[in-house]
Every structure is written in structure tokens, then in C-alpha cells.
Amino acid sequence: MSDQPWTGGQVTERASVVLCPNPGPMTLDGTNTWVLHSPSTDQAVVIDPGPLDEEHLDAVEAHVAKLGATVELTLVTHAHFDHDEGVPRWIERTGSAVRGAGRGEALRHDERITVGDIDLHVLLTPGHTKDSVSFVWADEQLLLTGDSVLGRGTSIVAYPDGNLAQYLDSLDTLHVAAQEGGLTLAPGHGPTALDASAVIDFYRRHRGERLQQVRDALAGGANTAPDVAQAVVEQVYADVPKAVWPAAKATVLAQLEYLQA
């Protein structure tokens, strides 16, 4: 995975990213708002409009206009504010239909969504959140993963909305899709990666290693601490900036739930 700053832009002939200016420890370079273009019909699908940031929505709308397109459909990968807070305002501005994260018609696993010559295969990939979804655009060889798999670092599985058992199953689902299609990773944060399956392999190994570290911390005495999760964080995530320890603790709670199942 690249450590270079990510600025978005054109990714394939028909897919591009408008990067939201909301960088941070959890959002990396910012939220990737994906714009998928159907040149034959001058329609666009927008994935994750981002937070309520009028300048960003202006930039996305301007990009769609530059393509000579109109927004036919807005999709949301999951209900975290950095992906969906701006959706109501975006819909006001564009009048597009919307699906995902509890909005519009519920997305179904293995469903196909067709807008012009855009053909998306829906994968329900819960774990990061209960409502996380991903999309395969086979024609452009893209695997759009939201926050299930990031372009840099690893994603969190934060208890109680996050569920590690579901997440591990979703990584398996994404790995199969990536291998079968030779797909490029198109994440919700961070840069793209040409070999999505390699990134997902790394994620699966990382989760296994973390779980073993949690087991070791519990065996080493963390299980007798007044706050077991915090004790695990201080051992297992000692190399992580303390600013993200609250997220690490939520992840540890999900790990503990998984180990107790």
C-alpha cells in the first residue's frame, strides 16, 4: 500500500475520485467520493457524497457537470458521518435517487445495479458496520470497498456496531471477488491499489495476528485488570498514537466479543 499523499482524480476511463478536504487519523487523506460515469447516456452514479461540506459538494457537482452528466443514483457504503452526513443536502441539490445506509430501497447481496452502461454487482460486507456494502464494477475492474478495506493502514471494527466474525466473513467474500476479477482496490479512504486481493490478504493476516496478540495479553494478566479492554489496548496497541486509542478500544471490545463466542 502506498505511503504517498493521495489526491484523488481520474482512476479509470469512467471512474474518478473527488477527495473531500477532511483529512484526519481516521479519514486518512479525506473521504473518497467516487463518481462513476456512463458516457453513452451522460448519467453518473456517485458513491459516498461525504460529510456535510458545501464546498466539497460543490466540487463533486462541478466534476459531474464537467463530464456533461447528471447524477442518476447516489449510493452510500455505510452510515458513518464522513460518508453520509452530506447525503440529504446532496439529494436536495441533485434530485438523484439514493440507496444504502438505511436510505431508499435496501441493497441486496448479489444484486445488480445498472445505470446506463454502469453495471455494479452489490456485495453486502458487514463487519466494519452492520450496514457496510461494497460494489464490483467488473468492466472497469474496480472493487469499491467503502471502509471495509482502506487504501492505507487497516480499518477498524468498532464494537458494538462492528462485528469481527462478520468482518472476517466479509474479507473472505471480498477476496474471492478480487481474485476472480483481477480487481483494483477502490477504497473509501486512501489510494487505490492495483492488486486488491493482495491488500485483502494482508488484512486477513493482520486480523489473525491481532487476535493472537489479544489472546497473549489476556493470558499475560490483562484479563484480571479493572478495565480489560483498556489493559489490552495498552499492551497490543502501544505503538499506535494515543489519539486513536478510543477507536482501538472499540476494536478490542469487538475482538473480545469474538473470542468469547
User: Global pTM?
Assistant: 0.95
Per-residue pLDDT, 42: 97
Tell me if residue 211 falls in helix, strand or coil: helix
Bridge-partner residues for 37, per DSSP?
44
DSSP annotation string for 48-96: ---SS-HHHHHHHHHHHHHTT-EEEEEE-S---HHHHTTHHHHHHHH--
Neighbours of 225 (CB within 10 A): 15
Please give the Cα distance from 43 to 131 (Å, whole number): 26
Each residue of 217-239: pLDDT tens digit? Answer: 999 999 999 999 999 999 999 98
* Residue burial 30-48, b: 16+ Cβ < 10 Å; e: rest: bbbbbbbbbeeeebbbbbb
Each residue of 170-204: pLDDT tens digit? Answer: 999 999 999 998 999 999 999 999 999 999 999 99
User: What's the one-letter identity of residue 257?
Assistant: E
Domains and CATH numbers, the chain: 9-203 (3.60.15.10)
Please give the Cα distance from 147 to 112 (Å, whole number): 21
Per-residue pLDDT, 3: 65
